[in-house]
């Protein structure tokens, strides 16, 4: 009777191993939610990697986790690493590898327990706000040697467990993002600025176009005005007004075109 039981268990385990070997190792998990805020606001909030601590479910699991941020914290190249005593948080690192304004934020995730995974936010403007999709793709069969063989045998089961667990985490995270933005955005009761649209008469000027970003605007404008002043002096012209700048486009996290000049 005992021998039959062991034989049955052996066959059962062999079936599990065989099935596990053929189970798909590529795992895709995603959550989707309409965030009741403008697409630009949602994008720029998530584009700042430091904002993860305001909404991430893992931060709520361990508010004392150790974090180290890279030199860049906004846009492509932004990164940080973490380490936690909580087994569900563990340690690892994340880096934004491709950020396209109001479209997507792609990241590379490295977990101490496994190989790299790819995370992503995709943004879509819809009625009532922004449809935000948060996803992660992992290969549960990665690894070399003995560990690689183990991953190939049980990676499929690990992937099933991961999908079941992460689905709820992603849904919680998206809800946290929505709630965090609601709390951070307060209505403006009084606008201290007056914005007017006006027609500017044509005028003569010496101008220079340059690509700038939020960090180097003062420096770049100074360089442009110096070039304009040199041309005015060379051409023996006279200044006829204060320096000006036309912003042909604008972005918080990438270069944009500015035309700076001096009326003559």
CATH for 76: 3.30.530.20
Residues 108, 43 share a domain: yes
Pick from 258, 252, 223, 225: which is nearest to 239 by CA?
225
DSSP structure string for 127-148: TTEEEEEEEEEEETT---HHHH
Residues 132, 25 share a domain: yes
Rounded to an integer, what distance in angstroms lies between the CA atom of residue 80 and that of residue 78?
7
5 in a structural domain:
no
Q: What is the mean pLDDT of the chain?
A: 76
49-77 pLDDT, tens digit per residue, is 999 989 988 887 777 888 899 999 999 99
Residues 212, 178 share a domain: no
Rounded to an integer, what distance in angstroms lies between the CA atom of residue 103 and that of residue 219?
30
pLDDT at 143 over 70: no
DSSP structure string for the chain: -HHHHHHHHHHHHHHHHHHHHHS--EEEEEEEEEESS-HHHHHHHHHBGGGGGGT-HHHHH-TT-EEEE-S--BSTT-EEEEE-SSTTT-EEEEEEEEEETTTEEEEEEEETTS-EEEEEEEEEEETTEEEEEEEEEEETT---HHHHHHHHHHHHHHHHHHHHHHHHHHHHHHHHHHHHHHHH----SS--------PPPP--EEEEEEEE-TTTHHHHHHHHHHHHHHHHHHTT----S-EEEEES---SSS-EEEEEEEE-
189 in a structural domain:
no
Residues 55, 120 share a domain: yes
82-86, 144-148, 206-210: segment of lowest average pLDDT: 144-148
Residues 135, 63 share a domain: yes
197 in a structural domain:
no
79 in a structural domain:
yes
Q: What is the C-alpha radius of gyration for the chain, rounded to an integer number of angstroms? A: 27
- What's the pTM? 0.56
Residues 218, 107 share a domain: no
Domain count, the chain: 2
The residue segments making up the domain with residue 42 are 19-184
168 in a structural domain:
yes
Last residue of a domain, one of 151, 184, 217: 184
Per-residue pLDDT band for 162 (boundaries 50, 70, 90) equals: low
Mean pLDDT of 14-42: 68
87 in a structural domain:
yes
Residues 177, 219 share a domain: no
Residues 118, 249 share a domain: no
Residues 164, 210 share a domain: no
Is the model more confident about 149 or about 85? 85
pLDDT at 86 over 80: no
116 Cβ contact list (under 8 Å, min separation 6): 108, 109, 110
192-203 pLDDT, tens digit per residue, is 667 788 888 888
Residues 157, 211 share a domain: no
Residues 122, 209 share a domain: no
Residues 180, 72 share a domain: yes
245-258 pLDDT, tens digit per residue, is 888 877 777 788 88
65 in a structural domain:
yes
29: left (phi over 0), alpha (psi -120 to 50) or beta: beta
Half-sphere exposure of 66 (CA within 13 A, CB side): 6
13 in a structural domain:
no
């Amino acid at each position: 009777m005992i021998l039959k039981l062991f034989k049955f268990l052996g066959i059962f385990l062999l079936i599990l191993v065989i099935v596990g070997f053929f189970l798909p190792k590529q795992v895709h998990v995603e959550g989707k939610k309409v965030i009741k805020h403008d697409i630009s606001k949602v994008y720029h909030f998530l584009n700042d990697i430091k904002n993860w601590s305001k909404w991430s479910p893992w931060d709520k699991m361990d508010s004392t986790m150790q974090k180290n941020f890279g030199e860049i914290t906004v846009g492509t190249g932004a990164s940080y690493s973490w380490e936690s005593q909580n087994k569900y948080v563990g340690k690892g690192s994340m880096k934004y590898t491709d950020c396209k304004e109001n479209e997507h934020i792609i990241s590379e995730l490295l977990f101490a327990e496994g190989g790299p995974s790819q995370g992503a936010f995709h943004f879509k403007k819809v009625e009532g706000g922004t449809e935000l999709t948060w996803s992660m793709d992992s290969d549960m069969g990665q690894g070399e040697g003995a560990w690689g063989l183990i991953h190939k045998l049980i990676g499929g089961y690990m992937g099933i467990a991961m999908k079941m667990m992460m689905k709820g985490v992603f849904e919680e995270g998206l809800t946290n993002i929505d709630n965090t933005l609601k709390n951070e955005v307060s209505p403006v009761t009084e606008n201290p600025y007056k914005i007017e649209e006006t027609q500017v008469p044509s005028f003569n000027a010496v101008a220079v176009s340059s690509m700038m970003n939020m960090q180097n605007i003062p420096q770049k404008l100074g360089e442009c005005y110096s070039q304009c002043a040199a041309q005015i002096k060379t051409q023996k012209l006279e200044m006829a007004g204060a320096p000006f700048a036309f912003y042909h486009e604008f972005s918080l996290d990438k270069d944009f075109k500015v035309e700076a000049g001096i009326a003559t």
